[in-house]
Structure formats: structure tokens, C-alpha cells
Amino acid sequence: MITEKPVNERLQWFLDRIGKRVFRNHAGCPCVICKKVYEQGFVIVDASHAEYVHDNEADYAASGHPLRYFDTKEQALAYEAENPLPNQQKLES
């Protein structure tokens, strides 16, 4: 991994939210952790966590899955309605 990568705008978004809760649209993964994150969001604990989440989002984008993080669950659900995942499975909750 490159250690001196410039802080891009999207990474800055995550860094600005350290200590805050974020939400995301459905990742298309039915595991317990993803289900919990989808329903409750999670708190970004520190800078390395912010980077991890940012990289995760970028990885999904690269694989064609529009996974994105938002300040509110409402925003995440609105995004999800506009960008359904190709392999999205509707989960009973």
C-alpha cells in the first residue's frame, strides 16, 4: 500500500466524521455484521478506521456495487432506491 497518498475529498468526508455515526445502503451481503451495519449504522472510531471504510467503499465501486456511506439512514435508503445493487437480495428484517 502507498503510505503517502494524498487525502482526497471522499476520504476527507470520512475523516471529518471520526466519532460520528454513518449509514450505508445495502451491501448485498446477508451476514450478521452487514445486516447490523445496514440497520444501525456504525461509528467511525479513528483515522485508520476512516481510511478502512473509505477503501471499502472504493473497492465496492470498483466491483460495480454502488456502496456508499451517508450521515443519515434516510439518505442511505434514498440512495439505495435509486441505485439497487445488481445482486441485491431483499432481506426480511
3-state secondary structure of 27: coil
As a whole number of angstroms, the distance between CA 15 and CA 45 comes to 10
Question: Given candidates 29, 58, 77, 85, which one binds Zn ion under the rule CB under 5 A?
Answer: 29
Binding piece for Zn ion, criterion CB under 5 A, among 6-14, 27-35, 58-66, 77-85: 27-35
- Name the residue nearer to Zn ion (CB basis): 2 or 31: 31
Q: Give yes or no for residue 34 binding Zn ion (CB under 5 A).
A: yes
First to last CA, the chain: 38
Give the ranges where 1-93 is alpha helix by DSSP (H).
9-15, 32-40, 47-62, 73-82
Binding piece for Zn ion, criterion CB under 5 A, among 25-33, 57-65, 70-78, 79-87: 25-33
Residues making contact with Zn ion (CB under 5 A): 29, 31, 34
